[in-house]
């Protein structure tokens, strides 16, 4: 019998320093999306998780504040989606639960699922930039959850800008490559 | 300059062992709700976070698999809602991202915000039991996010049972006491 409940420790994969280091800067939306697509691709290649990457950037300087990748299966953590890790690690890096202490944005290789969407207003980021669309992920079997139909306008109402379709086809290709290779498409009832 | 991005470690508060220990059992829905309301109340009294408590239980045996409390401000973690912690710690305790490896339920002192709602289908729990309603939290100023209007039926469609209003007035009293005492009601743009 445990005397206490376990703590949670989640670390980014060891390969992260080869792809992305603290202090690196990415000037344009294209460069930032190229990074998160590379995170998604590397996460699959190194077998550390699903085909999703994300990062929080300083909008003005382009500095990457925190990257994230999907670690659901490897970390035994249903909530360890790429966007959640990027937001959580960014909070540690900035020592604030509100990423709005700087002008920050979340760049994600795929439009967020219902959970990550719900997390975005709490995070304090001012902009969301997406690659593949929700329906691109659904098409290969990922469950994106029950999102409000007008989720983009709801974010905008909260003052969060939404930019879509940045390198959409490249981001979708990572999803498709993963599915073709037989990677696990897990959902609420475990792996299929 | 950091050579690597920070890891995430989130621990339940030190007082947890005084209120709830691994292996403890709670036979009825009322007993389980009484525990999570006590978690919410203690979290406020010990000044470790907001007035929200949750726990994952084994439906059959009543064993508490993992408790959770809101640690947003103290842990610099926008995502550290009570339900998220309970789900994440339960994943560690069961060594599975799918809490459906046992018949489990999430009991929450208040109906979930949009993020926690989105997390529930990913968690693998089979039942959600709630105390205070969404509108009870909104009334005192907490932002519950943009949830689909028919969120309860959407969970049921996914095979997740929803039980509402268990000790609703007691759970709401914790929210009201927190607001009356001037506890921070944070939202997407930081503390008000």
Give the pLDDT mean for B155-184: 95
CA distance A23 to chain B (A): 7
Contact B9 A4 (CB under 8 A): no
What is the ipTM metric for this complex? 0.94
Start-to-end C-alpha separation, chain A: 32
CA distances to A81, A139, B50 from B186, rounded to whole Å, are 24, 37, 9
The H-assigned helical ranges of chain A are 16-19, 29-45, 82-94, 114-123, 134-139, 151-157, 168-180
For B106, the enclosing helix (H) or strand (E) is: strand B104-110
Q: Does A123 touch chain B (CB under 8 A)?
A: yes
Dihedral sign of CA atoms B113, B115, B116, B121 in order:
positive
Contacts of B141 (CB under 8 A, 6+ apart): B179, B185, B192
Residue contacts between A and B (CB atoms, under 8 Å): 222
Closest of A149, A104, A100 to residue A128, by C-alpha: A104
Structure token digits, residue A55: 């990062």
**Which of B67 and B10 is assigned the larger pLDDT?**
B67
Give the model's confidence band at A3: pLDDT under 50 very low, under 70 low, under 90 confident, else very high.
low
Contact between residue A45 and residue A65 where contact means Cβ atoms under 8 Å apart: no
Give the pLDDT confidence of A13-40 residue by residue, as tens digits: 999 999 999 999 999 999 999 999 999 9
Query: Mean pLDDT across chain A, nearest whole number?
Result: 93
Angle between helices A114-123 and B114-123 (to 10 degrees): 150
Contacts of A46 (CB under 8 A, 6+ apart): A13, A15
Phi, psi angle pair for A91, to nearest 5°: -60, -40
Nearest to A78 among B91, B95, B145 (CB): B91
Q: Does B3 touch chain A (CB under 8 A)?
A: yes
What is the spatial distance between Cα A49 and Cα B53, in angstroms, rounded to a whole number? 30
CA atoms within 13 A on the CB side of A79: 31
Contact B115 A118 (CB under 8 A): yes
Nearest to B2 among A22, A78, A88 (CB): A22
What is the spatial distance between Cα B105 and Cα B129, in angstroms, rounded to a whole number? 7
What is the spatial distance between Cα A176 and Cα A144, in angstroms, rounded to a whole number? 16
Dihedral sign of CA atoms B79, B144, A133, A59 in order:
negative
CA distance A50 to chain B (A): 13
The residue with tokens 């009825």 is: B28
Note the pTM of the prediction, 2 decimals: 0.95
Q: Residue B190's pLDDT is what?
A: 41
Residue A69 pLDDT greater than 60, yes or no: yes
Q: Residue A189's pLDDT is what?
A: 44
| A190-191/A186-187 β-pairing | antiparallel
Contact B9 A12 (CB under 8 A): no
Residue A1 pLDDT greater than 70, yes or no: no
Q: Residue A60's pLDDT is what?
A: 97
Contact A79 B72 (CB under 8 A): no
Give the pLDDT confidence of B52-80 residue by residue, as tens digits: 999 999 999 999 999 999 998 888 788 99
Active-site residue, B144 included = no
Contact between residue B126 and residue B101 where contact means Cβ atoms under 8 Å apart: no
Nearest CA in chain B to A23: B1
């Amino acid at each position: 019998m445990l005397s206490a409940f376990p703590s949670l420790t989640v670390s980014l994969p060891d390969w992260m320093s080869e792809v992305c280091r603290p202090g690196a800067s990415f000037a344009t939306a294209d460069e930032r999306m190229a990074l998160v697509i590379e995170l998604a691709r590397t996460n699959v290649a190194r077998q550390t998780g699903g085909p999703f990457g994300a990062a929080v950037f300083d909008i003005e300087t382009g500095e990457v504040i925190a990257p994230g990748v999907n670690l659901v299966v490897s970390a035994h953590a249903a909530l360890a989606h790429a966007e959640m890790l990027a937001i959580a690690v960014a909070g540690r890096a900035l020592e604030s639960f509100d990423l709005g202490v700087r002008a920050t944005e979340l760049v994600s290789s795929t439009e967020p699922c219902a959970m990550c969407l719900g997390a975005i207003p709490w995070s304090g980021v001012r902009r969301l930039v997406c690659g593949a669309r929700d329906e691109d992920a659904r098409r290969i079997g990922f469950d994106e959850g029950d999102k409000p139909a007008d989720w983009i306008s709801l974010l905008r109402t909260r003052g969060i800008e939404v930019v879509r379709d940045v390198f959409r086809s490249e981001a979708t290709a990572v999803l498709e490559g993963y599915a073709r290779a037989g990677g696990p498409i897990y959902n609420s009832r475990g792996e299929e």
